[in-house]
């Protein structure tokens, strides 16, 4: 069976995200002293003893109000509970039992999943026992006093939790392809996530900034697991105030770093903006594979030539991602959404691809035959001795030459274009490292030493 899920629920501002981060052993969920920061389900990997599981942080539950996102937050929490092996109900030990706690407890008693009661903000172990005692009145069994910030008491909670989890030998962990979904606010990132998953995993709203955290979701397509990471919309840095949006943008940029492939979602009605260009540049700098997802294609009046005209126009603005695949979709209607994961597979394969040294040097010889290296003002010509691929993700080729300074930017671009023309590498950056004569000799000496050993 897949890894078990543990849902964390409670009213706003009791420390659910802090506890989720504590159990996961890292600061992933946004913690901020403001109600309603967490809205979607945030999935974080965690372990205790020999047990590995997924912690799901949820938004604060409020049952007697239906303003803004509260009904959608309730829906997300309910969905988390339906897939959970156990639920941790978090309350505030300093505030004591509130009417909202009682209402949530009444609702949880109607569920069939095991419930553990975590009394947070018990900073003093002695005082914590007194604070926790009041929560026996909720009728959910033993309250566990703890401090999510300092970590005290969490061990006792986890010892009780693992009794409800399957045996580790029954859990199978399979490698996942990590796919980050990024773009400007309201480009349709959360709609795309929901269309790929087939359910309302992320809250979709016309209100800019609805998504704040990076939302991890595992989905299977053609028996292959993908970890989809929906992110907050990224605006210009000067427009982002310190607070939840600031942290959300940082999480989005980190999502690019930890992904294998990035889906850059472009609103076709808005076109490519400066912020889209900055994001594209960031993806290329991080060396990630990329698929350009052109969303809201259903809203465009078009004929049989429109898609080619739009592609030319979009690529002219995203010229530094000219190697990226482009897919036109409608996340709202689901049209052509299945093409996105097909493109992800192709890009991931190229991003991890390794080419033999013999093939690389065949391409080099052909390229040099058509266009010889330039000669500098002193009449000295550049020479390329040989090339070899030194790494993947992204594919990186080292070219050993007599002097890197004899190769101008134009010729370097020419060599890169020849590699792409002959070898493909569609959807991934291709890095060329120009190494001088001394570096070549050091590399050869290393090979010789290895041979002698």
Question: What is the per-residue pLDDT across 13-50, written as a single tens digit (0 to 9) for each?
Answer: 888 888 988 898 765 544 333 444 444 467 788 889 88
Closest CA to 202 of 17, 42, 2, 19: 42
Q: What is the mean pLDDT of the chain?
A: 81
The domain locations on the chain are 5-170, 177-351, 357-452
Is pLDDT at 347 greater than 60 in this prediction? yes
Q: How confident is the model at residue 389 (pLDDT cuts 50, 70, 90)?
A: very high
% of the chain exceeding 70 in pLDDT: 80
* Residues constituting the chain: 453
What lies within 8 Å, CB to CB, of 224 at 6+ separation is 177, 345
Q: Which CATH class is domain 357-452?
A: alpha beta
Q: Note the pLDDT of residue 249.
A: 53
CATH code for the structural domain at 177-351 = 3.40.50.300
Rounded CA gap, 306 and 326, in Å? 14
Q: Note the pLDDT of residue 228.
A: 84
Q: Check for a shared fold between 177-351 and 357-452.
A: no
Rounded CA gap, 127 and 335, in Å? 58
Rg (CA), the chain: 27
Range with the largest mean pLDDT of 11-15, 171-175, 222-226, 364-368: 364-368
Q: How confident is the model at residue 59 (pLDDT cuts 50, 70, 90)?
A: confident
Contact yes or no for 332/299 (Cβ under 8 A): no
Would you call 264 helix, strand, or coil by DSSP? strand
**Architecture of the domain spanning 5-170:** 3-Layer(aba) Sandwich (3.40)
């Amino acid at each position: 069976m897949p890894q078990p899920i543990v849902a964390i629920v409670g009213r706003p501002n009791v420390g659910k995200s802090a506890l989720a981060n504590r159990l996961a052993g890292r600061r992933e969920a946004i913690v901020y002293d403001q109600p309603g920061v967490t809205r979607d389900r945030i999935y974080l990997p965690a372990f205790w003893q020999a047990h590995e599981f997924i912690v799901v942080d949820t938004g604060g539950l409020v049952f007697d109000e239906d303003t803004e996102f509260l009904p959608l937050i309730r829906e997300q929490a309910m969905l988390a509970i339906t897939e959970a092996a156990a639920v941790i109900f978090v309350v505030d030990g300093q505030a004591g039992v509130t009417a909202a706690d009682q209402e949530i407890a009444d609702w949880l008693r109607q569920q069939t999943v095991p419930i553990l009661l975590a009394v947070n903000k018990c900073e003093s172990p002695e005082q914590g026992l007194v604070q926790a005692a009041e929560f026996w009145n909720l009728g959910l069994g033993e309250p566990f006093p703890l401090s999510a910030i300092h970590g005290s008491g969490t061990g006792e909670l986890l010892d009780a939790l693992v009794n409800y989890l399957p045996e580790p030998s029954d859990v199978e962990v399979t490698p996942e392809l990590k796919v980050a979904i990024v773009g400007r606010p309201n480009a349709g990132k959360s709609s795309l996530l929901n269309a790929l998953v087939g359910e309302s995993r992320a809250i979709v709203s016309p209100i800019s900034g609805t998504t704040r955290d990076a939302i991890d979701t595992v989905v299977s397509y053609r028996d292959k697991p993908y970890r989809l990471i929906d992110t907050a919309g990224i605006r210009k840095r000067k427009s982002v105030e310190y607070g939840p949006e600031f942290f959300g943008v940082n999480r989005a940029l980190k999502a690019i770093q930890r992904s294998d492939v990035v889906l850059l979602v472009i609103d076709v009605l808005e076109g490519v903006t400066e912020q889209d260009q900055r994001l594209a540049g960031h993806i290329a700098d991080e060396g990630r594979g990329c698929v350009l997802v052109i969303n809201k294609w259903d809203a465009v009046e078009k004929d049989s030539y429109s898609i080619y005209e739009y592609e030319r126009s979009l690529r002219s603005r995203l010229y530094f991602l000219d190697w990226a695949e482009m897919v036109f979709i409608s996340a709202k209607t689901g049209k052509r959404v299945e093409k996105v994961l097909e493109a992800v597979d192709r890009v991931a394969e190229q991003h991890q691809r390794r080419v033999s040294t013999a093939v690389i040097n065949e391409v080099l010889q052909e390229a040099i035959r058509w266009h010889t290296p330039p000669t500098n003002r002193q009449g000295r010509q550049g020479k390329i001795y040989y090339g070899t691929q030194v790494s993947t993700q992204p594919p990186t080729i080292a070219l050993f030459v007599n002097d890197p300074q004899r190769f101008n930017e134009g010729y370097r671009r020419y060599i890169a274009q020849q590699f792409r023309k002959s070898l493909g590498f569609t959807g991934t950056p291709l890095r060329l490292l120009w190494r001088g004569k001394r570096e070549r000799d050091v590399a050869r000496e290393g090979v010789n030493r290895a041979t002698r050993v």
